Amino acid sequence: MAKTKNEENFLKFNFDVSAFRLLGRELITDRITALFELVKNSYDSNANTATIEFININPISKESKIIIRDDGFGMDYSDIKNRWMVIGTSSKRRERTTPEPYNRIVSGKKGIGRFAVDKLGAKLILKTKKKGTNKLFCLETDWVNYSKIENSQMSLNFEDSKDFFTDIKNRYWLEDGQIDAQGTSLEISGIEEEWSEKDIDRAYKELSKLISPNNDSKLYPFHINIKSEYEKYKNISIKPQIIDFASLKFELSFNLENNTQEILQFKNNQLNIINVPIRDCGPLKTTIYYFDRLAKDKYKKYFNVEIDGIKIYRDGLITTPFAEYVDTQNEQKDILGLDKRRWSGFFDRLGTRDLLGYIEITDKSNPFIVESTNRQGFVDNKQFYQLKKFVIEQIQQIENFLKNQRNSSRGTTKSGLSGASDNIKDLKSDISKIKNSSSPEVKEVLTNIEKNLSKLQGTVNKSINDFNKSEEEKKQIENLLFSLVSLQTFAAMFSHMAKHTIGHIITSAEYFNNNFPNPKLEDRFLKISKKIYSEMMKLRTGVDFMLKYAKSDSDFEEISIKGLIENLFNNIYEDILSKEKIQTEIILDKDLILNYNRKAIEDILDNLISNSIKALKHQTNKKIKCIGIVNKNDFTLIFSDNGSGIDEQDKYRIFDIFFTTTAEDGGAGMGLYMTKTRIEAMGGEIEVIENEFKPTGASFKITLPFKK
């Protein structure tokens, strides 16, 4: 019989009793994170002060407790019933600011932070009171009971009637209180893990970062106190993290009216602040401090804490991950990817132990940058990717600036050593002239001075030689890295080519093995022999191409540019270009013979081709075009494709080291940097020009000067 509309059947979701574990100890896996969650609740309650008291926490006993008290606005029965006892409550999502006079932007939005209690202890007694009432509302939650019920239900059939999470009863009562008092206390017992002095020290250091140093809420500050059995932390007020001793400071802001974001740009030996359009992640207020070795030593000695990277703050309060510092740097959470950039041992890269910083975001302007529920990262979306990209780009510009300073300093040092050597020679010459007309006593003194000057000159000359040797070794390491990057790119292509080539050879050889001799198949054998020879020559070409990486970067030879380009397109990259269905067009008006290092020129073209292949990955009707023009005093090469192109905001920094838009395809941000470095070493230039395949694609113009 058909049902009427009013007779429709419905089912509703229920929470299994195990939800207390899933939302508590198994979701929040770090005790400091749990403390953060509960202290942030005090911040959201307009508290002036939150106090964390550790009682008998080493060793653990039945008397062990952690009590978190605040003087916030407290709760009444209705608040407890409709907010505290409701999972995922929307109250903080609807009411984004606290009452007057503080008007704080509240940090909690997910409605599950209270379950952090379970990570600290098995039992909670909550006592809370609003100002103007004379009764404390008290609530007891015992997670041991939940656990017992969960265990008992394990023996029941799935279909049997069971208590759900929302069916478990939590006892409450009222106590007398002072009418002018207000606030909330969380008394946590059933502590399972002891808290050593080192644990308390870590809690102190991490909680000192809770409030951004740039927080504008100076009128109503938020204080955190710690009490414990350890002498150092008997009763101590946590001081906000202070930045001092930094070598350099960089501040970047934004202009919402003009829709512009300030960023760093290193250009013409200067580190400047320029304006670009605000990105998808929203406007970012950024402060970055750089510490050189001396500054790091001073900071660590004074504050007894390591420099630990860049933090993200939302509306003045730290986001995630909490408790980021760990003893072993390799185990530290690195959500911005500062320490995970490839080739990290080269080019003086900066990491989390060199930088302190604050990225300021807001709920209003950065709504799509969302913290993960476990408080140990962010939701991996386009906006968070843009934020990470922004941070790394700023660090790259600082790295370029510092590298330039070091190079300038080395140049000054080398010039100073050479000048000192020349001055010593002049002094010795002057002394020699004076000696001829001096008395025996003066001659003796001058002779000793000459001897000392000769020793000094020897020391200076050795320093010059050591300096030159160091510079040469540094250059060799850089060239080695360039070769490794190019080799990595080519290795994938070569592997693909070798696999198919060997496959063709095996098929042909197998035909010979199964059918030879057979006079009727002579013509067939002849064709297959030629094919095997052709495939073997292709394989040898690839091997020869790889062997060039064993040669010195200083080996010069006469190179046919036309032959080199055609070899790359028609032999080395033939298989991958064919597989990807990429059409190629090579137009060279003349052949040009250059006397230069073959590896360097092949590296340049190799990177341009591999970049185009990546850019064409998701395109149709794929094209690569290479035009070479021999002018009076230079050779111009225009290399184009109709791939994904270059964003306008990226055009000015695509040649920067570590800058990449193809990280998911294995891009290391080295290719175009290396290409530019190679070209400049030849006295040439490379630039991005208007692309002939508009509206998509990119074109590079390379100019190489030569002497006829």
Per-residue pLDDT tens over the stretch 217-231: 566 788 999 999 999
How far is the C-alpha of 219 from the C-alpha of 76, rounded, in Å? 27
Strand ordering across the sheet containing 270-277: 254-255, 260-267, 270-277
599-635: per-residue pLDDT in tens? 778 888 888 888 888 889 888 889 999 998 888 888 8
CA neighbours closer than 13 Å in the CB half-sphere of residue 546: 16
Per the DSSP assignment, residues forming a β-bridge with 318 are 313
Per-residue model confidence (pLDDT) at position 492: 55
Tell me the β-bridge partners of 623.
583
Angle at 331 between CA 327 and CA 332, to 5 degrees: 80
- Kindly state the tokens that stand for 588: 């060279």
Number of alpha carbons in the 13 Å side-chain half-sphere of residue 479: 19
- Peptide bond between residue 367 and the one before it cis (omega within 30 degrees of 0): no
The pLDDT, as a whole number, for residue 667 is: 46
* Rg of the chain in Å (alpha carbons): 35
Reference 98, options 73, 79, 75, 117; nearest CA is: 73
- Of residues 333, 600, 324, the one with CA closest to residue 483: 600
Query: CA nearest 348: which of 273, 405, 411?
Result: 405
Helix (H) or strand (E) holding 32: helix 31-44
DSSP E strand boundaries for 87-244: 123-129, 135-142, 172-176, 183-189, 223-227, 235-237
Question: Cβ contacts of residue 437 below 8 Å, gap of 6+?
Answer: none
Could you say which residues of the chain have pLDDT below 50? 322-331, 342-345, 552, 663-668
CA distance 46 to 73: 6
Contact 225, 68 (CB under 8 A): no
What span, in angstroms and rounded, lies between the C-alpha atoms of 538 and 5? 75
pLDDT at site 344 = 45
- CA angle 198/203/206 to nearest 5° reads 120
Q: What was the pLDDT predicted at 349?
A: 74
Whether the predicted model's global pTM rises above the 0.95 cut: no
Q: State the Cα–Cα distance between residues 197 and 232, nearest whole angstrom.
A: 9
